[in-house]
Structure 1
Amino acid sequence: MAARRRQAAWTSLAAGGGLAVAVLALAAAVLAALAPPAGAGPSLADLEREARRARAEMAALQRQLDRVGARLVAAEQRLDAVSARLQESRQAQARAELALELQRQALAARAATLYKTGDLTLLDVLAGLRSFTDLESLRELERDVAEADRAAEERAEALARDARRLARQVEAEREEALAAAAEVRDRKADLDAQLARRQALLQEITARIRKLLSRGGLAAALRLADGGEFTQVTWAKALLVALRMPVTADNVAAIVAWEMAEGGHWYNGASYNPLNTTMPMPGATAMNSVGVKAYTSWAQGLEATVRTLRNGLYEGVLAALRRGDDASAVAAAVGASPWGTGDFSRLL
């Protein structure tokens, strides 16, 4: 019944030579509106490819950042460890140099004590010795003390040298660690900058996609297909984009309910024709006696549906969709139109 009423409306509109010319002119205008303008810039497909590429690059950069971040943590931990060793080595150097200075002071004091004669003369010293054996013992004692002093001083000097060498070695390690950490920080800063540029690019591409979709048209609508196929929901959105109507929750709900009421494509043989329009298109075939068409592609079916809705008989439907805030109003407008579906508010 819906198809018969819609076919009658189309036949009535097309009757007469003048009206035929008007229909052809209208069809040409619609085709011109649906065709992408020359020099319009990248297509939606191009923009989506750019967006996918930008997202892939951002993911790769993030993985690099994660690796560099781990390297930076390791470099900073190494730097902390080397800095602690450097502090310890400097403290050890200070202790060793202090010990050397104290040893030298002790040697000087002992030498002064051993060789200081004060008020005693050499004769006094010799008079105090009972024998040459005592004299020899005194000399051996002086030699032993002198050798012990020299050994102690050499040990102190060796400790000081070792401490200074260790300090230089650790200082060199610290310089290497500083350089490595700085290199990693520079790399991280570079990756951060690259990631920020990709994020800005993705935001720009996303804005351009939204702008392109907001302009609508058949080309933009077809890009809503997933793998070249539509669901009832995505086709509803595609029809709204093709009509350049707001893609609101109410509008989508209304179109989906309309598809369910008509039963095209998914529930009958009207391929690519969810709303069961009878609009003739090249290669389309009638799937029933009243002329509901089975179309050759989603593009053709969408174009036929858009042409039908814009043939001048469905201004009430278009007005309700243009408002976009009342699914029931769309259903009522369809019910009041010659489409033939009736008011499908019960399906909302």
Structure 2
Amino acid sequence: MVVAFVVHRFIVSPRQQNKRNGSRIQGFMIGYGFIIPFLLLYPLALLDALGLKNITLMVCICGALPNLLLLRVVEAMHDTLPSFATESRGNLVLYYAGTLQVLMDEETGRPVPLTTSIFVTKAMRFLYIFLQTGFLFSLLIPCEYHIAPQRQIGSFLDLFYWGNLFNAYMVALLTSSILDGGASGLGILTSICTGMAMQSFSDFPMSRSSSPSDFWGNRWDRPVASGLKRGAFVPMRKCGLSRHASAILTFLVSGLIHEYMLFLMTKRQGTIGFRSSSSSSSNNSNNVTPEAYAPNYGNQIFFFLWNGVVLLLERALEGSPIIQWTSKHLPQPLKTALVLLTVLPVAHLFTDEYIRSSFYGDTAFAFPLISLHRLEGPSS
């Protein structure tokens, strides 16, 4: 909220009142010189002050939210904010304070009010995701997030080993459920407080994506996708970079943001949560302690650059006969499977860090779990 007031006072309002270049330079100086460094540094001080022990809280409070806010500050500096956010200071505060964006009526361009029907739909979706996430945790925790046989990556073909792909799919599905559930819950609270409906966090990326660009641009993590588009891609285009260069650099920005969040995880204090059903055993060689976690820096960047290259290849080949035939005749489930095959082979580069840091294990405490125990017969 404080950041929104500062941005409106020193960046948005001067630009609206004075279109000369001086106000833009002032905005860049305040944004890049003060606000963005503050958003990158204050989470470190906040972690020390709060002494957080839960990785999930650390990532959400000190990683995801400040970085989403950072992108929205860049939007203000480069005049790429959504029109709703520029209409008043209150709207800008709402835009900056909410993880999800306000749902806008396509005909009127005005916010959609929260109705009983919308509330019930959102609440039922949240409940479904909540139970689904608990079920996925119940499946994955006992087997250390590897349900299928796992093959060590020793060659390019190993990336496409069926067991690796299946395990990557299950962890990706879990990740999608965690993010969607958390954001949906915050969205419901925001709607209750403001009386406005919020956009959905995601749109079934693991089951309905029709192309890599559809997966990343329309379905997976919509707040970050829109933040990267308006806070990275469009500003680069306005600065004269080509579409291809802007796209790759946008994925690089996403990779850097996630590398920063790995760095925040190393600041964890206290004892670790559980990763598996046997994590309480002192003899478990897979147990991870906060002191032992050392990120493999660079993997997040590689993961996002890989997907950036995939999107460039999609755009380069979109006019080819095979792509045209596929988009028109292939059933939707097969389209989605092909899309996921562009992501899952390297998905372990992303998710393994969150497994090792116990992000998933700490998140599991918030969900109901099913624990299966073998029944022992009476002893003789």
TM-score normalised to structure 1 length:
0.22
Larger helix fraction of residues: 1
TM-score normalised to structure 2 length:
0.20
Structure of greater Rg = 1
